[in-house]
Structure 1
């Protein structure tokens, strides 16, 4: 009888109190790294943990409303406890994730390298997250063997974040160096459904186009975007709009702005808000191109 091949990985999630929302530690099988995570109300409790006196890379996360983007601050420290015992926070946040290690093998050079890599990955996912720190981290130059080791560490970090529901990256293994146990290939490409909406009220010519690919969304290059924005436009979508204009990814066309590159989103609402220049539910604004059915109705059918 042929041996059965079992795929998968084991994540150990330990809740440090009776409240299921309390501070948590996260470990992954066959990995010397670990994470400490929780809501802001448990931040002081986290500072009492010995592991956070070591070198670490961390994310401070401000969750978003349905029509906005989450905001993330990426940082590193050789002593997280000392860094935040008395210092002010760089952004308001409602949750945090700190990655460190169990055996003191993570150095300051390692976490500076990791900080730069995570920052660059998030900066390329501008439709999924708004980076709070816009300046590129300095990073560090590592020997070839250390770079390979940190590539594996980074792959495991992203695996843990994705498994815990932080969908900030294109895919769980979106790193230049392969993770030790990559996810198995899908049997078939995900189904793509196309939707459209108008950048201007009741206009049939000023269209934006959104593809639903699996559980994600892609606002397609060539989409027309409202040339104006109202005060109701969510703050982080407004930052994204300003960023796209600054880098010439939105250019004037026919009284609108034309998007010149694809942008991936985790939700249709911030994509719709970007297009219309105002707050938008997304589910009611996008219509399927084949039958004009609203996106919200399509999702309910699923």
Structure 2
């Protein structure tokens, strides 16, 4: 995602910072409407939600270790979302994208193209669990395709701003940048990762201690990662099969070491300085 200064306006139509939000980049014609599920009944009075658009249902599936997303499109977003509110259990928040220009609304072909593109890019990035059929690809002229791909970039930015980094790379630094890479190693494990604004990422290929202590509090989390094949057994060892984002350095270290662990002292850079020494002192 291109990093440059932008102005993003977020409007709270009902005054609550935890409620419905309408966000837009001030020089773009696309707006995002974030609706918590518990406020869904309120959106019937919003004209924006009656338009053609693309939407993202976010939530958690108890049987999966990753957050879940469902991507869809509709000619009338409110009617489609009303159906999802009655029939789909997993979602907690929906983010709808429509245009804020009455003379330049999305067409059905536009949103079907965006739905397909959004799905494929989400699968490629692999940060969220997706359980749906592949949206049908539709034909749009070359000139419109260029416009829609630019709109997709706006969608990515607004989703991340609203707290859903569906299309952001987990890793913010290169593995060659040793000053920002942290290690957790002993005679049983060798893991490395990155500390960022979302918590701590353990990198693919990091090893995990096979056994856990009796007092280990995160055993169910670890078992779930193994069940979902985020951690796999290979040649008698347990390793991370893919990068995985944890909410804190301590949870990441605890999973790696199989015991309750303070991640601020367990993770160290190549010079042997702890994460605590570098980031908190």
Distance in structure 2 (CA, Å) of the matches to 1:240 and 1:140: 38
TM-score (normalised: structure 1): 0.69
Of residues 267-276 and 41-50 in structure 1, the stretch that sits farther from structure 2 once superposed is 267-276
Q: Secondary structure at the match of 1:140?
A: coil
Instruction: State the match for 1:184 in structure 2.
Output: none
Instruction: State the match for 1:116 in structure 2.
Output: 116
Q: Does residue 234 of structure 2 align to residue 252 of structure 1?
A: yes
Q: Gaps (5+ residues) in structure 2? A: 171-176
Cα 1:79–1:16, aligned 2, differ >3 Å: closer, same or farther? same
Distance in structure 1 (CA, Å) of the matches to 2:179 and 2:123: 27
Q: Secondary structure at the match of 1:124?
A: helix
Cα 1:259–1:113, aligned 2, differ >3 Å: closer, same or farther? same
Residue 139 of structure 1: how far off its partner (Å) = 3.1
Q: Secondary structure at the match of 1:233?
A: helix
2:123/2:130 contact within 8 Å kept: no
Of 141, 145, 163, the residue aligned with 1:143 is: 141
TM-score (normalised: structure 2): 0.73
1:233/1:277 contact within 8 Å kept: no
1:100/1:106 contact within 8 Å kept: yes
Instruction: State the match for 1:183 in structure 2.
Output: none
Deviations 1:10-68 (A, max 9, x none): 2222111233333221222222211111322221112332222222111222279xxx6
> Could you say what the CA RMSD is over the residues aligned between the two structures, in angstroms?
3.8
Deviations 1:67-113 (A, max 9, x none): x6433222222222111334424243332211111235212222222
Of 187, 191, 208, the residue aligned with 1:208 is: 191
Cα 1:214–1:48, aligned 2, differ >3 Å: closer, same or farther? closer
Of residues 152-161 and 42-51 in structure 1, the stretch that sits farther from structure 2 once superposed is 42-51
Q: Does residue 182 of structure 2 align to residue 194 of structure 1?
A: yes
Cα 1:271–1:22, aligned 2, differ >3 Å: closer, same or farther? same
Q: When you count helix as a share of all residues, which structure comes out higher?
A: 2
1:190/1:214 contact within 8 Å kept: no
Instruction: State the match for 1:224 in structure 2.
Output: 207
Q: Gaps (5+ residues) in structure 1? A: 1-6, 173-188, 198-202
Q: Does residue 26 of structure 2 align to residue 29 of structure 1?
A: yes
Q: Secondary structure at the match of 1:162?
A: helix
Distance in structure 1 (CA, Å) of the matches to 2:37 and 2:45: 14
Q: Does residue 48 of structure 2 align to residue 51 of structure 1?
A: yes
Instruction: State the match for 1:133 in structure 2.
Output: 131
Distance in structure 1 (CA, Å) of the matches to 2:238 and 2:244: 18
Distance in structure 1 (CA, Å) of the matches to 2:43 and 2:274: 44
Cα 1:289–1:10, aligned 2, differ >3 Å: closer, same or farther? closer
How many residue pairs are counted as aligned between the two chains?
Answer: 261
Cα 1:17–1:289, aligned 2, differ >3 Å: closer, same or farther? closer
Of 1, 5, 10, the residue aligned with 2:7 is: 10
Instruction: State the match for 1:164 in structure 2.
Output: 162
1:74/1:133 contact within 8 Å kept: no
Distance in structure 2 (CA, Å) of the matches to 1:225 and 1:274: 7
